Amino acid sequence: MTETRAALTEMTLARMKEFYREPGAVFWAFGFPVLLAVALGIAFRNRPPDPARVGVATASDVLWLQAALATPEIKVVLTGTPAEVEAAAREGKVDLVVSVAAGRALSYRYDADNSAGHLARLVVDNALQRAAGRLDALESADQTVHEPGSRYIDYLMPGIIGMNVMGSSMWGIGYTIVWERKKRLLKRLVATPMRRSSYLLSYLLSRLIFLIVEVAALLLFAYFVFDVTIQGSLFGVAVVALLGLLGFSGLSLLVASRVQSIEAVTGWMNLAMLPMWLLSGSFFSYERFPEIIHPLVRLLPLTAINDGLRAIMSRGAALSAVVPEMVVLALWAVLSFLVALKIFRWE
Amino acid sequence: MSSVTEQRAPTGDAIVCRGLVKRYADVVAVAGIDLNVRRGECFGLLGPNGAGKTTTIEILEGLKTPDEGEILLLGRAWGKGRDRELREAIGIALQETEIAERLTVEEIVRLFRSLYAKGRGIDETIRLVDLEPKRKTPFLKLSGGQRQRLALACALVGHPEILFLDEPTTGLDPQARHRMWEVVTEFKAKGGTVLLTTHYMDEAARLCDRLAIIDHGKIIAAGTPKALVADLQADQIIEFEPTAAFAADGLATLPGVHAASRKDGHYVLRVQRMGLALPALLAAVEKGGAGIKALATHEPTLEDVFVHLTGRALRDD
Ligand SMILES: Nc1ncnc2c1ncn2[C@@H]1O[C@H](COP(=O)(O)OP(=O)(O)O)[C@@H](O)[C@H]1O
Ligand SMILES: [Mg+2]
């Protein structure tokens, strides 16, 4: 090994060693986002539509009816007296009650406010009418597709990556700076010929290396476990993630620029991130919030990275389509760096 | 107050400062300090807690800006666009620093070495402070003394001309202190200049060629440890406690006694001739209607100098 290396290299290496020797930090950077993706991915996974749950209320034994309802789209939960079937409907065990009066007169009973009931009525009526000999007036053919990038997990993964870039930049930089200031290591370093720019750059470089590893790990995980593929270019993902890193690093530096205690920086960090956790659409689209706040929400760096990554990963957008998001991130980076450097407390 | 300029810096002086003042909201931490530290000497700032030692040394190190006053380090001033050059030439150990917890001794020394354009080898530096067995030990697992020596290694690794040490042995056991002293002595023997602060009078006496005694932000006495003690004009100090109060006005004029003072219930006599003074003292106490409850004599030290100058003890613990 060479005896001495450039200060920037040495400081970057030191930061990386400190990071991976801290088991807690490694878990929050890698384990936690993966766990989150697994939990949400399983809870909200897409499934084929459930069969319509039907209760048949009939006094007599109607074999033709049983036969007509024997399709995968329909599940006859029970057949019984009207009272029995009504009870099952009230308990929510069936979506639709089919009653057959004498002869072939049918009646359907279902909850007008429940879409499952409406759906069940359509499916059941269709099946019964056909069985009774109705002929379709028009010919039709079904073509089903699986749109890539349209599942919830496809929506979720860019959000998890965005959250991860935010969390690891904010904590990895801001928290560590305040720790070093409090323990007077910052002061000790300033007492050497170290260039202050090297100090700050060492954070960016070490974060960049971790960012590559973290994002790659999440993408691979998403691909192998949930079959999430990148519709656009990997390069585009890298560019947006890098801009995100710069934006959050600037924000983090700003938050940490004057704070003296760990407690205070923890509070400020959470305060800075809380609006983004709520509003930036990591887990659910911010379209649900009132229209009027959307422009503001889009100015948040987490929204910008989420939207940018989502456009590229799920919709296959080109980089040119996410210029507004990239501009937002770049502005956060430049403005917060400038302000932070102005007010930064080195002692 | 004379002014120092880059041109008129006395050659041979490593550190010159004039009229340093530093005020905080509720206290004047440094109230006008002048110093001349010669190249190759070990200069001490001796004073109790809160005297202004750390503030002074950090101003000299360029880590704090003074409200008033001028400083020249190796003939150069801070803030004139050549600070990095100055930083190359000095090594600093702060009063307390926690260096990167999870890095090992070797990694930390290597990190600090990388910050200097030139300097010592990593191995040499670690050997210098006697930390070879702890090379691979993370900072977190070092003892207090080992941490202090690591801090010293970080100060030495850039091969400095001036070494600044702020209370380098506070809180260390005697063995660890001796090891620190050895390293400092060795640095000085090779021509290095040392400025250190301490509130241990034995450390000041042992290490320093010259020192300044500081109290309330001011220098109250300065000189070699020998000269400072000699100024007491005493060969011995007698401290005694009488069994009861007695008329003690005449103590200072007893034969062989240079001066006497009273400090909460017991008396301190600066004695030039013990053979005359002791019998005279015993007689005077008896005549005053009291007895001796406790009596001790010792050679005068810097502690006595401080007590003499301020009426207080140097150490409050
Ligand atoms: N940052 C500060 N803010 C306010 N007062 C301070 C600060 N630093 C030191 N002081 C005060 O200045 C005085 C001198 O402190 P210091 O230089 O640390 O003394 P020493 O090192 O001799 O113990 C003390 O009264 C201390 O409380
Ligand atoms: Mg101090």
**Which residue, B148, B157, B27, B28, is CA-closest to B97?**
B148
DSSP assignments along A108-119, one per residue? EE--TT-HHHHH
Q: Is there a domain that residue A251 lies in?
A: yes
Is B94 in CB contact (< 8 Å) with chain A? yes
Residues 181 through 210 of chain A touching chain B, CB cutoff 8 Å: 183-185, 187-195
Q: Which of A131, A162, A177 is the last residue of a domain?
A: A131
pLDDT (0 to 100) of residue A330: 97
Q: Is there a domain that residue A87 lies in?
A: yes
> Is A333's pLDDT higher than 50?
yes
Q: Is there a domain that residue A324 lies in?
A: yes
Q: What is the mean pLDDT of residues A160-186?
A: 92
Give the CATH number, domain containing residue A71. 3.40.190.10
**Which residue, A15, A4, A40, is CA-closest to A210?**
A15
Same domain membership, residue A92 and residue A21: no
Q: Report residue B187 as tokens.
A: 């640095």
Strand residue runs (E) in B139-265: 162-166, 193-198, 210-215, 218-223, 236-242, 257-263
Contact at CB, B114 and A6, closer than 8 angstroms: yes
Q: Which of A98, A131, A164 is the last residue of a domain?
A: A131
- Alpha helices for B258-301 (secondary structure H): 274-287
Q: Are strands A74-80 and B266-271 parallel, antiparallel or unpaired?
A: unpaired
Packing angle of the helix pair A262-279, A301-315 (nearest 10 deg): 50
Q: What is the mean pLDDT of residues B117-144?
A: 94
- Cα–Cα separations (whole angstroms), residue A49 to A119, A147, A220, B211, B267: 11, 16, 29, 88, 99
> Is A309's pLDDT higher than 70?
yes
pLDDT (0 to 100) of residue B108: 96
> Is A135's pLDDT higher than 90?
no
> Is A45's pLDDT higher than 50?
yes
| pLDDT-derived band at B260, boundaries 50, 70, 90 | confident
Which position has the higher pLDDT, B5 or B287?
B287
Contact at CB, B99 and A188, closer than 8 angstroms: yes
Same domain membership, residue A276 and residue A195: yes
Give the tens place of pLDDT for each residue, A189-238: 999 999 988 999 999 999 999 999 999 999 999 999 888 999 999 999 99
pLDDT (0 to 100) of residue B213: 95
| Backbone dihedral angles phi then psi of residue A202, each to the nearest 5 degrees | -60, -35
**Looking up tokens 């459930």, which residue turns up?**
A50
> Is B196's pLDDT higher than 90?
yes
| Backbone dihedral angles phi then psi of residue A204, each to the nearest 5 degrees | -60, -45
Q: Are strands A52-58 and B218-223 parallel, antiparallel or unpaired?
A: unpaired
Q: Is there a domain that residue A2 lies in?
A: no
Q: Please tell me whether the interface predicted TM-score (ipTM) of this complex is above 0.95.
A: no
What does the alpha-carbon distance between residue B81 and residue B101 come to, in Å, rounded to a whole number?
Answer: 33
Same domain membership, residue A201 and residue A255: yes
Residue numbers in B near A194 (CB within 8 A): 115
Q: Is there a domain that residue A141 lies in?
A: no
Q: Is there a domain that residue A136 lies in?
A: no
What does the alpha-carbon distance between residue A167 and residue A274 come to, in Å, rounded to a whole number?
Answer: 11
Asked if residues A188 and B99 have their Cβ atoms less than 8 Å apart, the reply is: yes
Domain hosting A57: range is: 52-131
Same domain membership, residue A337 and residue A213: yes
Closest in B85, B88, B114 to A10, CB measured: B114
Q: Report residue B314 as tokens.
A: 């140097």
Domains in chain B (CATH in brackets) are 40-62+83-218 (3.40.50.300), 233-299 (3.30.70)
Same domain membership, residue A73 and residue A31: no
Same domain membership, residue A226 and residue A257: yes
Total H helices, total E strands in chain B: 10, 13
Closest in A5, A185, A191 to B100, CB measured: A185
Packing angle of the helix pair A196-226, A32-43 (nearest 10 deg): 30
Same domain membership, residue A158 and residue A108: no
Q: Are strands B236-242 and A52-58 parallel, antiparallel or unpaired?
A: unpaired
What does the alpha-carbon distance between residue A96 and residue A87 come to, in Å, rounded to a whole number?
Answer: 12
pLDDT (0 to 100) of residue B11: 59
| Lowest mean pLDDT, pick from A13-17, A30-34, B15-19, B167-171 | A30-34
Same domain membership, residue A206 and residue A317: yes
* Mean pLDDT of chain A, nearest integer: 89
Model pTM above 0.90? no
Same domain membership, residue A201 and residue A116: no
Same domain membership, residue A338 and residue A219: yes
pLDDT (0 to 100) of residue B7: 44
Tell me the helix, strand and coil percentages in chain B, rounded to 5: 35, 30, 35
What does the alpha-carbon distance between residue A96 and residue B225 come to, in Å, rounded to a whole number?
Answer: 103
- Cα–Cα separations (whole angstroms), residue B106 to A29, B5, B124: 27, 41, 11
Is B124 in CB contact (< 8 Å) with chain A? no
* Mean pLDDT of chain B, nearest integer: 90
Query: Which-ligand-closest: CA of B53?
Result: 1
Q: Report residue B11 as tokens.
A: 């050659």
- 3-class SS at A56? strand
- 3-class SS at A13? helix
pLDDT (0 to 100) of residue A69: 86
pLDDT (0 to 100) of residue A247: 97
Same domain membership, residue A183 and residue A88: no
- Alpha helices for A103-229 (secondary structure H): 115-131, 152-169, 176-182, 185-190, 196-226
Give the tens place of pLDDT for each residue, B238-259: 989 888 877 777 888 888 888 8
Q: Is there a domain that residue A144 lies in?
A: no
The domain total for chain A is 2
Closest in A10, A22, A195 to B111, CB measured: A10
Which position has the higher pLDDT, B268 or A29?
B268
pLDDT (0 to 100) of residue B111: 95
> Is B168's pLDDT higher than 90?
yes
Asked if residues A302 and A166 have their Cβ atoms less than 8 Å apart, the reply is: yes
| pLDDT-derived band at B9, boundaries 50, 70, 90 | very low
Q: What percent of chain B has pLDDT over 70?
A: 95
Q: Looking at the DSSP assignment, which residues form a beta bridge with residue A78?
A: A55
Q: What is the mean pLDDT of residues B64-68?
A: 95
Same domain membership, residue A320 and residue A182: yes
Query: What amino acid is encoded at A138 in this protein?
Result: L
Q: What is the mean pLDDT of residues A250-261?
A: 94
| pLDDT-derived band at A134, boundaries 50, 70, 90 | confident
Residue numbers in B near A190 (CB within 8 A): 63
> Is B2's pLDDT higher than 60?
no
Q: Is there a domain that residue A89 lies in?
A: yes
| pLDDT-derived band at A5, boundaries 50, 70, 90 | low
